[in-house]
Structure 1
Amino acid sequence: MLTGTRLHPGGTRRLPATGRGRPPLAAGLALGLALLAGAVALSLSVGTEHIAPGEVWSALFSPSGSKDDAIVRELRLPRTLIGVAVGAALGLAGGVMQTLTRNPLADPGLLGVNAGASAAVVTAIGVLGITSFTGYLWFALAGAAVAATAVNALGGARSATPVRLALAGTAVNAALFGYVNGLQQWDLSTLDSMRHWSVGTLAKRDPDLLVTVLPLLVAGALLTFALARPLGALALGEDHARALGTSIRRTRILSIVAITLLCGAATAVCGPIGFIGLMIPHAVRAFSGPDPRRLLPYCALFAPALLLVSDVVGRIVVSPSEIEVDIVTSFLGGLLFIHLVRQRKVAQL
């Protein structure tokens, strides 16, 4: 139950604190920071060539120009920084998406963000002949925004409900991915160019792209945390949210803006990476509770840790080749769904 106020016949009372019976927020965040630090260390040291932690430290703070220094500074450090930023963005977007729709199985892709970005990128490549990452970056962002806006409009805008948003998102996703597949089959050069982007990966991504989209990621994250309290009220139900003075329409619109900024920018940099936004909020809710004021900080730390560990797994299982991180996270997401199916019941938010 969320901390806040609830109207009663005899007046106004404060709801019990969400954190009661759960680990203190500071302790959970400390654990998240420790796990993220460990994931960063693994990402910098493990790969086709293993580099000892001491050598990684030297490469970062007192480089000597060796081969290991070049691997750490020029290849793994940018890849790791991208993983941290993208992972945090996807985790936050997933937390907002699941709270907004009151559906613990919702994924940021439910609002058509990934499908919109993919459709815009394939159009830029196949129709306009734009093939550079920096060239179609803004197409991905615009496509994500248009798709999310269309889902909100089809879902009923002011009268939108979680179920209607989910149905609208499913319809938009199906239509856009059908368009993407059709254009790829029609133009083989588009298919060849698109395949390097269509599977989400942290490898061979231009770090300058992260610098370009960083303001959008920061803006989306700040907006997400600012929405924590109204989202918590909305999770109690629309009647309770109105009683607490929350503007449902404004909260829903700003939430979609935050999801679009976070997922659009992340997808533009790395391509579509699935299931991070599903798995992390679902996993951390067991000890954070449903209150977004506790849930979202956990998501911001645990999601990049999972993404980096998944990336490391992809590097070593078929070394010296590697598996894209989206394939690893999809496999883990499949295991999560199997677990949920075996439970036969998914708890409501």
Structure 2
Amino acid sequence: LSEINAVRATRDYREVGTFTPEVRAEVAYNPDSELLPVTRANGVALAQSVPQGGLISGTSALMSLDGWTWENMTEKSPVGLHIRWPQMKAIERIWMRQSAEDQLKDRDEQLENLRKFFADARAYHQLKSSGQPFESSTRLEAMAPFITGEAPVFIHADDIRQIQAAMDWAKTEQLQMILVGGYDAWRIADELKVQDIPVIYHNVHSLPDRRWEGYDTPFTGPAKLHAAGVRFCIAPAEGVSDPGHSRNLPYEAATAAAYGLPKDEALKSVTLYPAQIFGIAERVGSLEVGKDATLIVTTGDPLEITTQVEHMFIAGRHVDLSSRHTQLYEKYLQKYRQLGEIE
């Protein structure tokens, strides 16, 4: 959804407005993006495309990284509804112009508006099912699978206060919650396990959030979640400037393995476990009879930085692994051969 951050025409990752559940990420997916072959060449075959912005950002889609159009690259849509949970505490920084009191007031207003929006969505669908005349709303129509629990709600939260507030709200609303981000998730792992809330952990390659935390706090999060029995998977950092870093996903899992996560679990955290969380494990995520032949062939351990991906298959189709990176490599290889500096 974002190609070059400095070029506005290549950024299509958010809509205007606070509540936009009708937004569908897949229609903004660019099949000609240069980021796709680069990411693909490192062994990533499928990706969750996620809208950003607002309180309710819209719905995500599971996309193939090879294809001609967004229609034939869409593996599953919608995967879920995305909610950006507001900060629960006031931010006291030199760049923050709002007072602590105003920040907390804004937080309370956002949460009240969120509750009201879900109440309106339920009232709308009750009226619709009653057979009485009603005014159609694309926005409220899009809420149907989420208020009934048919599809999950992805709540983006990192701070422990955010996570606890989001869990309480999701339980009250009877929603199928998936936690995204989860920097502090290990601190309340027992609660997450009891409520069976999966975590999409975005923070392996990040800095500590607090001055008193150890340097390895983000690295050890997956190991702590695994030890507590929480369902989780590892994902790259999320942000406008981060799509180009999605290719580093195997190395994020490798870092987690180096800091306590069993090696087999690290591999599953970027293969089988995300497939289970997204509800497509019957098709992809492992090598089993009857599943789609979506796999890679490598020269060694897929999580080792020296390993090369030699072949990729998506749904049984052999995929080209050339990219802008390999093209530039070949170009300048020829240059130095002509100069006689290499053979």
Q: TM-score, normalised by structure 2?
A: 0.25
Query: Is the strand fraction higher in 1 or 2?
Result: 2
Q: Which has the higher contact order (CA 8 A, sep 6+)?
A: 1
Q: TM-score, normalised by structure 1?
A: 0.25
Query: Is the helix fraction higher in 1 or 2?
Result: 1
